Structure formats: structure tokens, C-alpha cells
Amino acid sequence: MGLVVGPRVIDAGLSQLLVVIAPMSVAAGFPSPAQDYFDGRIDLNAYLIKDVTSTFIVRVAGHSMEQAGISDGDELIVNRALEPKDGSVVIAVLDGELTIKRLRITPNGVVLQAENPLFPDIRVPALSELTIWGVATRCLHHI
């Protein structure tokens, strides 16, 4: 179903995590000549987290979002301060149950869309209690 497992707070006191960044892109199609050096560093905290006070990491359990590139066991970086909009991947609380889905706002109401044809979309009934807990900004995908 694409459930959320154990939100964790990202410590606002983290020191910089500087990682070496390559000065060029790497071809995913045909190989390009390799360069034997790396130039510069990037702070992953600054790159991945825009608002540390409202950012959480959640672990995904389930397969309903696989066609969105979100797999079982991945971690999502979720910002609770972002305004959800049509097409956002969100952590939704529907009648007390947490789920990860793509938010669709239609003329007929709200739909929590699965990204796997084996899982049905959830059409939110009018009398249901729906809260958007946060908006996913990045997926930390295990390869």
C-alpha cells in the first residue's frame, strides 16, 4: 500500500557533510571519456534539506509507488512546510492511516493515486478525514 514507517527528525545541529562532487556529468547512455579527478565538494545537508525544522525522513514499506521510482525500503525526504498541490507525492493521513501517494485534485474530489497498476487509487469520500502530513521532495533509493 505504500505505508510510512517511523518518521525520524533530522537533527538541526548536524555539521556540514561535505562530499566530493565530480566536475562533469556521467553519461547514462553511451560512455564518455573518463577524467581522473574530482573538483569541489557539496554539502548534502544544504543540497537535500531546505527547511531543517520541518523536514523528516520516512521509510517506505510497500510497492504502490514503484512507477514513481519509490520502492519498498527507500527513504523519502519529506517537508511538512510545503503546500501540497495537484501532482505532489505526499504523505497522507486518511481516516487515521498513513500512506504515500500522488495527490490528485479533480473536479470530482481528491484522489490519492497509486503509481503501480496492481494497486487501486483511493478516491477520498466526502466524509473522510484527510490530512496531508507532508510533501516528499527527494527519494533516497537503494540500488
Q: Is 64 a catalytic residue?
A: yes
Q: Is 101 a catalytic residue?
A: yes
Return the closest-CA partner of residue 62 out of 128, 109, 118.
118
**Catalytic residue, candidates 50, 64, 71, 88:** 64
- 103 is written with which cell numbers? 495527490
Centroid of chain to Cα 120: 20
* Residue whose entry in the numeric block shows the C-alpha cell 573518463: 34
Question: 3-class DSSP state for residue 78?
Answer: strand
* CA dist list (Å): 122 to 21, 90, 114: 41, 13, 8
**Catalytic residue, candidates 50, 71, 101, 128:** 101
Determine the straight-line distance between the first and last CA of the chain, rounded to whole angstroms.
Answer: 21
Question: 3-class DSSP state for residue 48?
Answer: helix
Residues forming the active site: 64, 101
